[in-house]
Chain A
Amino acid sequence: MNDLDMRSILKCVRCGTCRSVCPVFDVIGWESSSSRGRMLVAHGISQGLEVDESVFNSINTCTTCGLCEQMCPSGASPVEVIENLRHQLVLKGKMTAAQKLLRSEALEKGNPLGEIRERMAWLGDSEKDVRDKADYVFFAGCLASYRYPELTKRTFDILKNFGVTVMQEEVCCGSPLLRTGSDPSELVSKNLEQIKKIGAHTIITGCAGCFTTLKNDYPEDMNVIHVTEFLAEHLDEMELKKLDLKVTYHDPCHLGRCNGVFDAPRQIIESICTLEEMASNRELSRCCGAGGGVLKGYPELATELSKKRLEEVPDNVDYLVSACPLCCTNLKRGNPKIEVIDVIDLLEMAMK
């Protein structure tokens, strides 16, 4: 454990404020599943606590949503501690089967989903619009490319009108590896190389996980924006019609709380229809439950977390809108009766 982490662990006064906000603790209820518990476990490991399954579960059930950090009165950084701890354990070969699988799939196949299909197949007839050189690159991300190909094509079809291109050989941004303690540098280099070749000054992505990784974990000083930020700037140019809908919006943690992008998605929504906020929103928004490797490693927990988040959907809304394919995926798992769509889906409806 490095000195910085130890200092951060020691910042925790165990006041328990995080118990009142940690969504995972709310579901599991045992102390080791709260941020305070995880900080204690981290401290324990530094003092020789054996890393067994219970320790793994404590450390790996964190969605890295960062609400504890937002609320922590004493200024501790549990997410940083947990991610670093995961990394150090992985370095010692200590990881769960889910972590191993994520890593091997991402490194071998370029995506953590284990997909061997052609990644860029979503382009379809838009392949002809891909340029070799451009100022802007759209980074689609793994989940969007494989699980939401139509949405991804729609996004690109809007973006290409503004001179945006894509990478021909995009691979996973590295987020799933970083969040679960593995080294993503191989993937990072592959993406960086292509970005340089295209000569882009700005990367646009529609995924909150890709967004925070490209923005904060890539070594180069790149301008990274979320697709909602880009489109909010171009709303006047898109001829949108008003829709008689009432929707609510789920802030993806890694887009909102971790990077401060709250207004752009709301601006797009409000230019189209009525927005009614969820019970918790913006900085205090509750996590969907998928992040930090939880959906992969603890799918049942992820479902419970999703259900809790869905309890905060206001009555009588037509759609729950979000701005991240991972959030959308997990929110759909929580209650099939609630229609979950991406901001781009809503935009598409208003463009027709």
Chain B
Amino acid sequence: MKKSYLLKKLQEIVGNERVSVSSAELYCYSCDASQIRGMPDFVVMPASTDQVSKIVRLANENEIAVTARGAGTGLAGGAVPVENGIVLDMSSMNRILDMDLDNLQVTIEPGIVQEKLNEILEPHGLFFPPDPGSSAMCTLGGLIANNGSGMRSVKYGTTRNYVLGLEVVLADGTVINTGSKVSKSVAGYSLTDLFVGSEGTLGIITKATLRLRALPKERSVLLASFDDPEHAGKAVVKVLSSGIVPSACEILDRNIIDAINTYDPNISLPQAGAILMFEVDGTENSVLEGIEMIKDSCSDLATSIKAATDKEERDEIWAARRLVGAAVSRLDPLRTRVYVGEDIGVPIKELPGMLHKVREISEEFDLPIMTYGHIGDGNLHTGMCIDVLSDNEWDKLNRAADKIHRTAIDIGGTVTAEHGVGSARSDYLELELGKGLDVMILIKKALDPKGILNPGKMGV
């Protein structure tokens, strides 16, 4: 009875075509790219802030969960309705509302895809820097809600650094605006920063004003090969201490090198224990200087150093790196990449040690663990591929992931550097944040007393 009442109300708000309760749709919205599952009761595709506000108010009055979703590319279950209720598919709110290019700003709706925005900005010589591996499909709303980043965060930082202001629908349907169009403001608590990375637990983002950067004139890519990941880790510390800030600094271990070479036969990365991929961007001179400085810093530790010869080679290597997370599945027909325990971050100095620990964990559980990631900012992706039909392998994987998480926390790191907490990692927040988690819970209660916004996430 209640479901049919809610369905009717939702249809009144958004129209029949924008609500689905079909079995195929409910099933498709029951997961993201993580292992978390939860079946929605309704999938709604709102077209405006007003509609979002009315939907959230309806949910609040009836105490049912509302889970916002962008492209469903998340790796922690952030967009999965673990307590059922309404999934808000925000992907059709995808307009650019204002191109304020002289101010290096753009105001967007949350459903626009990262890469589409950058395609539109490119002719103007501008770009939005955070570039996750999923940039071809992920929405900016999802990116903001997760404070996502990517390969270039070592130089450009995370999404948080580019959000000037937000329009947010609160749990009772109230619409607020945070931040402003000025690049610095100390007027009040930074509510923008509160909502960025809140994973839909505090409000639904319906608009965002983003800061843009000028596209660099030049880019160059350098590959340095090492005997093992630990040597590569030491080289990273040395490079970053030398004063150069690469625009990307990625590590690929042996298995990942094989995966890339398998995925794209046009690429043949050197056979090494580990490769560091550096990218330097800027002016022609600063790029040349940067590349030389990186070469110098790596020379004692690397077994070989090679620069990409042309733009095509550079772009191809980068494109392959972007997709490697899934491409590791290609190495063995019976194994599939499972995103669990895949996103730790540690202080740069601890990198070689953490890499060594990962190898030990791999041996302890007799489970191949592939390491890649944004080593320049201490973010390591540990990739595990298992036969997903084997309970035994699931057990090993979960135990190995748990150990990876705890090890990262032990050495002052984090269980998630960019993929988010969602449901997948919420159990670790108390260990990582201590009493800080209590403050998070207080904030959550203040803003969402009935707990309707993305319940079951982030430990709140």
A interface, CB within 8 angstroms of B: 6-7, 10-11, 13-17, 19-20, 29-32, 36-37, 40-41, 44, 49-50, 52-55, 57-58, 72-75
Contacts and interface: CB of A to CB of B under 8 A. Distances in A.
20 contacts: A10-B389, A13-B339, A15-B33, A16-B73, A16-B137, A20-B115, A29-B45, A29-B92, A31-B28, A31-B72, A32-B24, A32-B25, A41-B28, A49-B24, A50-B23, A55-B23, A55-B24, A72-B326, A73-B324, A73-B325
A16 B330 contact: no
B325 A37 contact: no
A21 to B, nearest CB: 8
A70 to B, nearest CB: 12
B94 to A, nearest CB: 10
Contacts of B91: 29
Contacts of B137: 15-17, 19-20
B352 to A, nearest CB: 29
Given A40-B27, A55-B23, A57-B24, A14 B327 contact: no
B28 A37 contact: yes
A41 B27 contact: yes
B323 interface: yes
B134 A15 contact: yes
A26 to B, nearest CB: 11
B128 interface: no
Interface string B58-80: 00000000000001110000000
Contact of A20 (B23, B45, B113, B330): B113
B25 A54 contact: yes
Contacts of B92: 29
B376 to A, nearest CB: 23
Q: Give the 10 A-B residue pairs with the shortest CB-CB distance, closest first.
A: A54-B22, A54-B24, A74-B329, A73-B326, A73-B323, A31-B28, A74-B326, A32-B24, A37-B28, A20-B136
A17 B72 CA distance: 11
Interface string B84-125: 000001011000000000000000000001010000000000
Nearest to A58: B24
A30 B73 CA distance: 14
Interface in B3-25: 20, 22-25
Given A16-B72, A20-B137, A73-B327, A30 B336 contact: no
B114 to A, nearest CB: 10
Contacts of B22: 32, 52-54
B346 interface: no
Contacts of B338: 13
Given A50-B23, A54-B23, A73-B323, A31 B337 contact: no
B326 A15 contact: yes
Chain B: interface secondary structure?
A: mixed
B418 interface: no
B334 A7 contact: yes
B29 interface: yes
Nearest to B31: A14
Contacts of B281: none
A17 B325 CA distance: 12
A170 B23 CA distance: 42
B263 interface: yes
Contact of A13 (B43, B333, B337): B337
B393 to A, nearest CB: 12
B145 to A, nearest CB: 16
Contacts of B20: 30, 54
B258 interface: no
B32 interface: yes
Nearest to A31: B28
A8 to B, nearest CB: 9
Contacts of A19: 71, 73, 137
Contacts of A58: 24, 28
B73 A15 contact: yes
Nearest to B331: A75
B388 interface: yes
A192 B388 CA distance: 43
Interface in B304-352: 323-327, 329-330, 333-334, 336-339
Contacts of A41: 24, 27-28
Contacts of A11: 329, 336
A225 to B, nearest CB: 26
A9 to B, nearest CB: 10
A13 B23 contact: no
Contacts of A52: 22-24
